[in-house]
Structure 1
Amino acid sequence: MKATLVCSGGLDSVSLAHILAADHALSRIVSFDYGQRHRKELDFARAVSARLAVPFHLIDMRPVGAALTGSALTDAIDVPDGHYAEETMRVTVVPNRNAIMLTIAFGIAAAAGDDAVAAAVHGGDHFIYPDCRPGFTDAFAAMQRAALDGYADVALHVPFVRKSKADIVAEGARAGTPFAETWSCYKGSVIHCGRCGTCVERREAFDLAGVADPTAYADPDYWRAAITARGVV
């Protein structure tokens, strides 16, 4: 398999980059600027492509992103604190984001002769994000087979779609992922805030996986209160 990887610069997609590279299956990395409130995650995506010596494609989706209003990731809406499974985290949905990005990535992969598009969507995202669920990825893969019929045969590779964030940390650690060189926080400060849903999920995943978390957090202990409030512990 030679895969085009959709990479945000976050823990999940950077881990998948290293896992694919270890299997000699990583062909190129594609990232998207959709007008997100902070773009530092894109620096981490660019860095992993350099580290793994594969081409990097940055797609300017800002005009499209400007029309996808109503999300705390793109608009002047406060990012809520708390566990990722809280209803309040729905404000971080960017409508159809994965469907749009994957469509572009499939075009790039087909043009480049790659036989797969890889994405790091995972089970922990199912509650909030409809375009991270198996129903979506199965339907999208079928749609792309029809879209490229007779031109290219490109599969959708989503190895984490039924796995947890802790599973990703464990697998990423085995592949030598430098977790400090990933960015998750939705607030985009100098260091991870430790309080937003993705910071809480990140910190919890390291704990569950039994892997040391190298991340610096502004509030390193908040995650325990957040998961306790959800009845996780």
Structure 2
Amino acid sequence: MSPTPATTVVIYSGGMDSYTVLHRALREGLKVHALSFDYGQRHARELEVARQVCQELKIPHQVVDITAIHGLIDNSALTNAARAMPDGDYAEDNLSATVVPNRNMVLLSLAIAKAVNIGASRVDYGAHGGDHVLYPDCRPEFVHKMNDVAAIANFSPVAIHAPYLDASKSDILADGLAMGLDYRHTWTCYEGRPLACGRCGSCRERLAAFAAQGVTDPLAYAAAADAQPAVGATLDV
């Protein structure tokens, strides 16, 4: 009898980073449980993308409704449609409005609970180096300390695994392309519209990553002329 594969809970938003993390865990031979969260984000389209991917992969997927906390975190452009979504590249001075207070601590805490509940020894999530300047709960110090807490918060210790913690978005894309992943099955844009806007910080970071790898982003964008991607990026419209 072959041994039962180890189990991990992957925090899966439907975006590029978590999509790559998800497939990386599968390629490790782990039994994957994907966990997504509806916290009232404007870009809730990512949740439908996540559902479709998990259905195709035939892996367990749970979307957790935590919209009850919306009133606690609604001072962010990601959760409050009344606030203008800032355009431009990732930088603290122009994208601080997109910070959702304490988001990753909340999501990790729930994912750890799920892991303990199903006997998983690990939680995977896609924090990466490009987020450090903007999102405090993506910094290595936060991840390491949360990992320490996860080891003692329950009688069953859980490890927090962030394989791209010191990597760039371009590095993550390179890894995914080497795995043969199709990034048309991801959603990155902070706007919740039918097509990606191409202007928000998240779109621009994505486009820059594709440009750095010298490949075409398979997603369509609403306004290619206004997107102004990094030199070399190509838009499908």
Higher relative contact order (CA 8 A, sep 6+): 1
Equivalences for residues 82-97 of structure 1 within 5 A: 82-97=88-103
Which amino acid is 2:224 matched to? P
Determine if the alignment matches structure 1 residue 21 to structure 2 residue 26: yes
Q: Give TM-score scaled by structure 2 length.
A: 0.90
Q: Which of 177, 182, 193 pairs up with 1:178?
A: 182
RMSD between aligned residues: 1.6
Superimposed CA distance per residue, residues 152-199 of structure 1 (whole angstroms, 9 cap, x where no aligned partner): 121111001100000110111122222001000011111110000000
- Tell me the residue number matched to 2:235: none
Q: What 5-or-longer segments of structure 2 have no aligned partner? A: 1-5, 232-237
SS across alignment from 1:66: helix
Alignment pair present for 1:44 and 2:53: no
Instruction: Name the structure 2 match of 1:231.
Output: none
**Which letter maps to 2:19?**
V
Structure 1 vs Structure 2: percent identity of aligned residues?
Answer: 41
Residue of structure 2 equivalent to 1:202: 206
Task: Give the equivalent residue in structure 2 for 1:160.
Answer: 164
Counterpart for residue 110 of structure 2: 104
Between the aligned partners of 1:178 and 1:226, the Cα distance in structure 2 is 21
Q: How does 1:62-77 map to 2 (within 5 A)?
A: 62-75=67-80, 76-77=82-83
Query: How far 1:144 moved relative to its partner?
Result: 1.1
**2:14 aligned partner:** 9
Q: Which AA in structure 2 matches 1:180? A: R
The number of residues matched between the two structures is 225
CA contact 2:208–2:229 (8 Å) conserved in 1: no
Query: Could you say what secondary structure the match of 1:29 adopts?
Result: strand
Q: What's the TM-score once normalised by structure 1's chain length?
A: 0.91
Partner of residue 59, structure 1: 64
Kept in 1: contact 2:197–2:227 (CA 8 A)? no
Shift in Å at residue 30 of structure 1? Answer: 0.3
User: C-alpha distance in 2, partners of 1:201/1:37?
Assistant: 18
Shift of 1:23: 2.1
Query: Contact 2:43/2:192 (CA < 8 Å) preserved in 1?
Result: yes
Q: C-alpha displacement at 1:226, in angstroms?
A: 7.1
Structure 1 distance, partners of 2:168, 2:29, is 24
User: Does structure 1 conserve the Cα–Cα contact (< 8 Å) formed by 2:207 and 2:229?
Assistant: no
4+ residue segments displaced more than 6 Å = none
Q: In structure 2, what is the Cα distance between the partners aligned to 1:183 and 1:225?
A: 17
Q: CA deviation at 1:45?
A: 1.1
Residue identity in the other structure for 2:148: A
Can you give the 5+ residue segments of structure 1 that lack an aligned partner in the other structure? 228-233
- What is the alpha-carbon distance in structure 1 between the residues aligned to residue 65 and residue 146 of structure 2? 22
Instruction: Tell me, yes or no, if the aligned pair for 1:27 and 1:114 is still in contact at 8 Å.
Output: no
The Cα offsets for residues 104-137 of structure 1, whole Å up to 9 and x where unpaired, read as 0001011111110000010111111000000100
Provide the rounded CA distance (Å) in 2 between the counterparts of 1:225 and 1:23: 34
